[in-house]
Structure formats: structure tokens, C-alpha cells
Amino acid sequence: MRLGTRFSAYLQVAPLTLVFVGFLVFPLLAIVVVSFWDYTAYTMVPTFVLTNYRDVLLSSVTYTAYVNTFKYAGFTWFFTLTIGFTVAYFLAFHVRTFIWQLILFLICTVPFLTSNIIRMISWVPFLRRHGIFNSTLQAMGLISEPLEFLLFSDFAMVLAFVHLYTLFMVIPIFNSMMRIDRSLLAAAADCGASDGQVLRDVIIPLSKPGMAIGSIFVVTLVMGDFITVRLMSGGQSASVGLMMMNQIALLQYPAAAANAVILLIVTLLIVMAMVRIVDIRKEL
Amino acid sequence: MMDKGRRPGSFYVLGAFFAVFVLFLYGPLSAIILLSFQGPSGGLTLPMNGVSIYWFTALFAQQRVGDFWGAFQRSLFLATLVTLLTVALSLLAGLAFRKRFRGATALFYLAVASLIVPSILISLGIGLMFNILGWETAWYSSALGAHLTWTLPFGLLIMFAVFNRFNPAYEEAARDLGASGWQTIMGVVVPIIAPSLIGIALFGFTLSYDEFGRTLLTAGVYNSLPLEIYGMTTNITSPALYALGTLTTGFSFGVIAIFLAVSLTLRKRGHLPFERGATAAGSPA
């Protein structure tokens, strides 16, 4: 019987394992292998060279791209965390009935299930030179000339990132908050803690796992992004993902692969630093 | 919990913040939906120039856009495949993870890795792998696998959340009454967790239907809908683009509504109370 149970567990888990091995492990291995290959204008040459890594690591373009990408990730992380925490806090502690929590939660979730590209495009009418923001500000007399930096700028990009990814913060933080024993809050209040102290000394420490999970989502999504950067910056900003896409467009796959390996290492280092804060599996 | 008397002042401040957040989420989307119903002389921003469905008809005139219908059908079919596989594979794996088996931890980390590896790397890696093996990439093979690396971790994490809250007494009762393993799963476990399975299906469908990064280098000759839309963003500079956004968003809303309705019906039919754990069970992390 015990042997049978274990055997059935392997059978049940086999298809999932096959998908991950076939479409995650092998492809990543393929990237590592190809990153040591050489290339000509149209083809890849299977060999072993370090030139791709040398080109990547010695190029100032790489460092500019990483500095830019870290900057976007940092700003996006800050805004999504602040907004996400506030929204989750409101839902978890100020909305009193479960049915309303569910309804408001669904309202936040629905846009996340629609097309990211369309959600980016939807900022165009607002941010254009004669768009809704500028005309509103002009009508209010706050500015005389339209603001030029709205569309196709770093501002537009971070705005789009925050718009796309805040929900990745709201869900895990809300989840953490819902697991906080409400009697802890009552106890803190009975001992004379103010609302601010309860927030700082009870709720925030107990919500940290949720914040860490949300941060991992948001930072890794921004680190690997190229489409938002391309659409919202109008091609004027360089990010790591965009740099890789340009090499792919030029069929320089080994160069792109070397970049990919470095991006993977950087991303994993960031995630490992964040995981130290939290045991993800306990949070489910 | 229901009534603790007067609400504190902070409730109204936070409530206002929440309202602004919802406006931030839906405002831009509403603007393009509104703008897509302009007259033929309409531009890319407010004010509206007349009201018509001109830009929707323009969208279906062949010369304006590429293969919109073909791309839509492919994406629909692909998303359906991804949905079915995600539900089946996540359920099976979720059942396996309730027992102890060798490699469980490694597999769990593989699933987490699948979530955090940037989509462009999955796309590039699968593209290179197919290239090395001499296989042609296609939406029904390489892109299908690429999408599964994104939807399966969500499915698995939801299954973990579900089974962490699952009361094994139901299964024991079924077994005591003489049900076989298969009967217990299909007759007891699946009906109880059906609403969560619908949640996994919804995630699987919408994540696949809207996926761009993982499809880019794996779709092969024929575009999926997001790729087609991306192509249009660079070619079309008229409200036809907004009409396209309105259509696809409307479709997504329709899909979400159907899944929610099914989930609610299942809950009612099973006489299952709304549990507190239910929200967490429907969340991806």
C-alpha cells in the first residue's frame, strides 16, 4: 500500500515535471550552451568562445542598460509597494464584511486579466501632447504650455509598470494580512497602542512575507521587461530586455544568450536576497 | 466583525485612496472604450468627434489590419488547450504533493523558478532549443509549452493553498463507505474544490490569451493575437487601435464573467459556505 501510494504520487507529478524539464530546464541549458557559441551575420557556429561574455561585460551599453533597468525596477517597486500595501490594508482591516472584501478584491483583479498591451495603449489618450492630462492642466490654468515629458518617457514607463503590476503586490500582502490573528490587534490596543503603533509594530512586521512575495513578482517582471519599455519610452530608453531584443532582431543569438545568462544570474541574486526574508511555502 | 460602531476617520481617507486606485485601474481603459466609438474624423484623444461604429467596421476591412481573425482563433484555441492542461496537471500535482515523494522540494523550486525567470528568457531558450533540435516552432507546440511554464506555477500554488485548507475527513468518510481511490477523487475531492479549479482555469485562460513575451520567439509562422496587436500598435495610428482594444477587453470581460458565474453556481449547488480561505485560494501567491 505504501509503495503503491508513492508510485501513484510519481505518476501524478510526472506530466508537470516533464513540462518544466522540457520547457524550462532544457531551454535554459540551451541558452547557456549557445552563449559560448560564435556567430556570423546569418548563422550560429557551435564552438566554445568567451567573446560573447567579453563583449557584454566590457561594453558601456550593458552598464547603462543595467543602471536604467535597476532604476525602473526601484521606482516601480517603491510605488507598487506603497500603493499595494495601502489598498491591501484598507481591504483587510477597514472593509468589514467578507462579501464586500470579495467584491472589492474582484474589482481590483479584473483589469489584471485583460491584455497588458491594451492597458499600455490606454494611456496614450491621457499622455499625448494634446491629451487629457495636458488639456486638463491647461484648462485649470496650472500650466501654459503642454508638458512634453508625459508620453514616451521614463515617467510614462514607470506609470505603466505601476498600472500593470500593483496587483501583484495587493494579492500577497492582502493574503498575509488576512492571516493576522485579530486578537493581536485588540491586545495591542488594550495595552494602549495607538493605531499608528499597531500598524508599525504589529501589522507591518506580520505582513512582511506578503510584501516580499509581491516584491519578487514586481522586480523580476520589470527586470525582464522589454515591451513596456519599447512602447512607453518610444524606443528612447535602454533596458536590459530591450538590449537583448535588439540583438535577437539582428539574429545575434549567442550575444543575446550571453546577456540572458547574466540577466538570469542578476535576477536570481535579487530573488535570493528577498527570499531570505520569507519562507514562501509557509505562506500558502 | 460586522459592527464595531462608528468608523474611524482613517476609513474615509483610505476609502478615498481605494477609490482613486480603482479610477487609476479603470480610467484609461474607459477612455479608449469611449474613444473607439468616435465618428470617422475622430482622433487619438478627447474630445470625441461624433459617435459611430466606424472604427469597428474599419477594423474588419482586410487591408487595414493583418490576420486579425486568424490570430484570434489561434489564441482562443491555444488558451483553451493551456486551460485544460493547466487544470489537469495542477490537480494531479496538487494531489501528489499531499503525499511524500522524493524530489518534492526540488520540483517546488522548479515551479517557483518558472515564475521568476523573465519571460524573454523562456522565449529565447525554447526558440534556441527548437533551433538546435532542428524543429519548427509553432503556436501549438513551442508556444504551448512556453505558456504552460507561466500558468502551471500559478495553478500549483493555488492547489497548495486549497489543500492546505482541505479537511481530509471527507475523504476518510468516503473510503470508510467503500469508495475506491479514483471514486474518492472524482466523487468527493473534485466537487469540493471545483470553485478553485474554475479559478485555475480562469488564470490559465487569461494568462495564455494575453501572453506576449513568452510567445514572441516561440509562435512560429503564425501570430497569436497579442503579437498581432503589438504589430498593429506600430502600424495603426487611428482610433481603430482603440476599437481593437475595446473588442479584446470586452472579450476578456465576457470570459471572466462566465468563469465567475460558473464558480458561483458550483458553490451554490454544493451548498458550500463562503469560507474566509476562499479568497486566498483564488490568489496566485
Mind listing the pLDDT tens digit for each residue in B25-34? Answer: 998 888 888 8
Residues of A (45-74) whose Cβ lies below 8 Å from B: none
Q: What are phi and psi of B151, to 5 degrees?
A: -85, -35
With CB atoms and an 8 Å threshold, state whether B96 touches A22. no
The pLDDT, as a whole number, for residue B283 is 40
A12/B contact by beta carbon, under 8 A: yes
Give which of A35, A121, A230, A269 to mutate to test B binding, by max B Cβ within 10 Å. A121
Contact at 8 Å (CB) between B27 and B34? no
- In eight-state DSSP terms, residue A281 is G
The closest CB to that of A244, out of B17, B22, B120, belongs to B120
Q: For residue B90, tell me if it sits in a domain.
A: yes
- Within 8 A by CB and 6+ apart from A170, the residues are A84, A87, A88, A91, A108, A214
Mind listing the pLDDT tens digit for each residue in A210-225? Answer: 899 899 999 999 998 8
Nearest one of B220, B122, B217 to A251, comparing CA atoms: B217
> Where in the sequence is the domain holding B127, given as residue range(s)?
66-281
The owner of cell 510526472 is A14
Mind listing the pLDDT tens digit for each residue in A3-19? Answer: 566 788 888 899 999 99
Residues of B (122-181) whose Cβ lies below 8 Å from A: 122, 124-126, 128-129, 131-132, 145-146, 148-149, 152, 156-157, 160-161, 164, 181
CATH number, domain containing residue A242: 1.10.3720.10
Q: For residue A35, tell me if it sits in a domain.
A: no
Beta bridge partners of B51: B38
What's the Cα-to-Cα distance from B138 to each of A28, A264, B78, B222, rounded to whole Å? 19, 25, 11, 7
The pLDDT, as a whole number, for residue B9 is 79
Q: For residue A75, tell me if it sits in a domain.
A: yes
Cα angle for residues A82, A86, A87 (degrees, 5° grid): 120
With CB atoms and an 8 Å threshold, state whether B92 touches A96. no
Q: For residue A233, tell me if it sits in a domain.
A: yes
Rounded to whole angstroms, how far apart are CA atoms A56 and B8? 56
CATH number, domain containing residue B176: 1.10.3720.10
Which residue does chain B place closest to A115, by CA atoms?
B210
Q: For residue B257, tell me if it sits in a domain.
A: yes
Which residue does chain A place closest to B145, by CA atoms?
A23
Structural domain tally of chain A? 1
Residues of B (52-111) whose Cβ lies below 8 Å from A: 88-90, 92-93, 95-97, 99-101, 107-108, 110-111
Rounded to whole angstroms, how far apart are CA atoms A128 and B145? 38
Taking each helix axis from N to C end, the angle separating B119-133 and A240-249, rounded to the nearest 10 degrees, works out to: 30
Q: For residue A50, tell me if it sits in a domain.
A: no
Rounded to whole angstroms, how far apart are CA atoms B20 and A223? 28
Q: What are phi and psi of A50, to 5 degrees?
A: -105, 5
The pLDDT, as a whole number, for residue B281 is 40
Q: What are phi and psi of B6, to 5 degrees?
A: -65, 145
Buried-exposed string A203-241: b where 16+ CB fall within 10 A, e elsewhere: beebbebbbbbbbbbbbbbbbbbbbbbbbbbeeebbbbb
The owner of cell 472579450 is B251
> To the nearest whole angstrom, how far is the Cα of B245 from the nearest Cα of chain A?
6
Q: For residue A166, tell me if it sits in a domain.
A: yes
Q: For residue B30, tell me if it sits in a domain.
A: no
- In eight-state DSSP terms, residue A50 is S
Mind listing the pLDDT tens digit for each residue in B147-186? Answer: 999 999 999 999 998 888 888 888 889 889 988 888 888 8
Using CA atoms in the order B145, B151, B156, B157, what is the torsion angle rounded to 10 degrees? Answer: 150
B285/A contact by beta carbon, under 8 A: yes
A116/B contact by beta carbon, under 8 A: yes
Radius of gyration of chain A, Cα coordinates, nearest whole angstrom: 23
The closest CB to that of A117, out of B149, B181, B226, belongs to B226
Beta bridge partners of A44: A39
With CB atoms and an 8 Å threshold, state whether A9 touches B111. no
The closest CB to that of A13, out of B2, B21, B92, belongs to B92
Structural domain tally of chain B? 1
Q: For residue A170, tell me if it sits in a domain.
A: yes
Q: For residue A17, tell me if it sits in a domain.
A: no
Q: For residue B13, tell me if it sits in a domain.
A: no
> Where in the sequence is the domain holding A211, given as residue range(s)?
58-283
Nearest one of A120, A91, A61, A45 to A247, comparing CA atoms: A61
Nearest one of B1, B12, B6, B10 to A182, comparing CA atoms: B1
Q: For residue B58, tell me if it sits in a domain.
A: no
A-B contacts at Cβ under 8 angstroms: 288
Q: What is the mean pLDDT of chain B?
A: 83
Instruction: Indicate yes or no: pTM above 0.80.
Output: yes
Q: For residue B93, tell me if it sits in a domain.
A: yes
The closest CB to that of B18, out of A26, A90, A220, belongs to A90
If one compares A238 and B124, the residue with the highest pLDDT of the two is B124
